[in-house]
Amino acid sequence: MKARAFSYFRAATIDQALDAHARAGDDARFIAGGQSLVPALSLRLQAPRLLIDITHIDELRGVRRDGGYLRIGALTRHCEMLSEPLIAEFAPLLHAAAPFVAHPAIRNRGTFGGSVALADPASEFPAMTLALDAEIEIAGPSGSCRVKADDFFLDLFETALQPGELITAVYVPLFKADQRFAFDELARRRGDYALVGCGMLATFTGERVDDIRISFFSVGNTPTRVKGAEATLIGSSLEAERIAAAQAALEGDLAPPDSDEVPPAMRLHLARVLLGRMLGRLGEGA
């Protein structure tokens, strides 16, 4: 199928992009990598009258240190998550997640900002912003602000982003020497969306967990932090019984949606298996 006719505008600055969107009202969409938007247009799930291409806006590019954060520009492509040394060093959880995002050619075009803006509950990166306690920088007609990932994902494909607002960058606290991370997912086939996926970041004193953030994807309407499981692990040294307690706590943390393909009980079981594996690895220093 083909997209319905639309006009195209290539923005050179953030202001131009915001201005164009404001003038077009609800009838415009920003296009970044287009790896989700183009199929949606082709299927006519969406039919805006104006596409605003943001990929030529230099202000949205680049990865750099900014105080205690790594500032990752919205246009950073998925393949750059794999190749950019600053990401490997200061946001290794994103580096670990990147090979699981779609296929190589899609990673060559898809952008980090686009993935976070779309907030697909089955996507890797939105969930990782939660595990990382990242902040999302948003530019809108009334100025710019930063929103914590905890406050960003509201419901199915619904975020704190208002129509006409742009994600300009994501700020990720720099990875520290006393931290460990783990990422994994269960999928039917490499490159497919996960049945269940998870990323975690923990801060240790010796072998004791001082703080841990665990985020699941593909188990609900939004990426989901499992606060009950996190709480059972604080102060532990990831002993077998504490891991079992965290696995049990998932029952209260997760509410997998009903689906014919994967019944909720099975998804919850897979989440427990994945959590157990990953905490085991974290205990071994992974």
Partner 1 sequence: MSGFDQTLLDDADETVRVQLTVNGRRVACEVAPRETLVDCLRNELELTGTHAGCEMGACGACLVQLDGRAVHSCLMFAVQADGATINTIEGLSETGVIADLQAEFHRRNALQCGFCTPGMLVNAHELLSQVAQPSREEIRDALSGNYCRCTGYEAIVDAIEAVAQARDQGGGTK
Ligand X SMILES: Cc1cc2nc3c(=O)[nH]c(=O)nc-3n(C[C@H](O)[C@H](O)[C@H](O)COP(=O)(O)OP(=O)(O)OC[C@H]3O[C@@H](n4cnc5c(N)ncnc54)[C@H](O)[C@@H]3O)c2cc1C
- Which residues in this chain contact partner 1 in the complex, by CB under 8 A? 1-12, 16, 19-20, 23-24, 27, 31, 34-35, 38-39, 41-43, 49-51, 53, 55, 79, 99, 102-106, 108-109, 189-191
Output 102 or 182, the one with its CB closest to ligand X.
Answer: 102
- Taking the least distance from each CB to ligand X, the nearer of 123 and 232 is 123
Of positions 18, 63, 113, 214, contacts ligand X by CB under 6 A: 113
Q: What is the dihedral of CA 222, 276, 95, 213, to 10 degrees?
A: 60
* Residues in 136-165 at the binding interface with ligand X, rule: CB under 6 A: 161
Which CB sits closer to ligand X, 163 or 257? 163
Task: Check binding of 72 to ligand X (CB under 6 A).
Answer: no
Residue 131's binding partner out of ligand X, partner 1, none, with CB under 5 to 8 Å set by partner kind? none
Q: Which does 113 bind (CB under 5 to 8 A by kind): ligand X, partner 1, none?
A: ligand X
Binding-site partner at residue 195 among ligand X, partner 1, none, CB < 5 to 8 Å by type? none
Any contact of residue 263 with ligand X (CB under 6 A)? no
Identity (one letter) of the amino acid at 213?
Answer: R
Binds ligand X (CB under 6 A): choice among 14, 70, 74, 136? 74
Q: Which does 118 bind (CB under 5 to 8 A by kind): ligand X, partner 1, none?
A: ligand X
How far apart CA 5 and CA 41 sit, in angstroms, is: 10
* Smallest separation (angstroms) from partner 1 to the CB of 145: 24
Whether 45 contacts 36, CB under 8 Å: no
The entry of partner 1, ligand X, none near residue 197 (CB within 5 to 8 angstroms by kind) is none
Interface residue with ligand X, options 41, 82, 123, 153 (CB under 6 A): 123
- Between 11 and 131, name the residue whose CB sits nearer to partner 1: 11
Strands 28-31 and 50-53: parallel
Interaction site with ligand X (CB under 6 A): 29-37, 39, 74, 101-102, 106, 110-111, 113-115, 117-118, 120, 123-125, 161, 166-167, 193
